[in-house]
Amino acid sequence: EAQVTQNPRYLITVTGKKLTVTCSQNMNHEYMSWYRQDPGLGLRQIYYSMNVEVTDKGDVPEGYKVSRKEKRNFPLILESPSPNQTSLYFCASSLGGGRFTDTQYFGPGTRLTVL
């Protein structure tokens, strides 16, 4: 089944404790992206990757890091999480190849709480 998977689905942590949220897709998509969703603010892009070893900032990148060492995986790293990073996070992927119009497919989400 074609899908985007994320782990963990739920995470409660404390301020300053480094964490990684994994994202994997099995559709051979070139483009991958991370979003956060907050009430009243909608979905906002954190980082994206056009292909392996190519990443760039989205609209709200502060406090996050990403890496793209393999085509299928795109982990989101919070080096020193803070309470304002409590949110619902989604990974998405699309065919890419420079076509901005491609449909993005989303993972099931990771609900992160930073105490």
Amino acid at 38: D
Using CB under 8 A, which of 7, 95, 109, 113 touches another protein?
109
**Torsion on CA atoms 57, 29, 87, 40, rounded to nearest 10:** 80
Least distance in angstroms from the C-beta of 80 to another protein: 25
From residue 29 to residue 68, what is the string marking binding to another protein with x (rule CB under 8 A)? --x-x------xxxxxx--x-x-----x-xx---------
Q: How many CB atoms lie within 10 A of CB 100?
A: 7
Phi, psi of 59 (to 5 degrees): -85, -25
Count of residues of this chain found to bind another protein when the rule CB under 8 A is applied: 25
Least distance in angstroms from the C-beta of 58 to another protein: 5
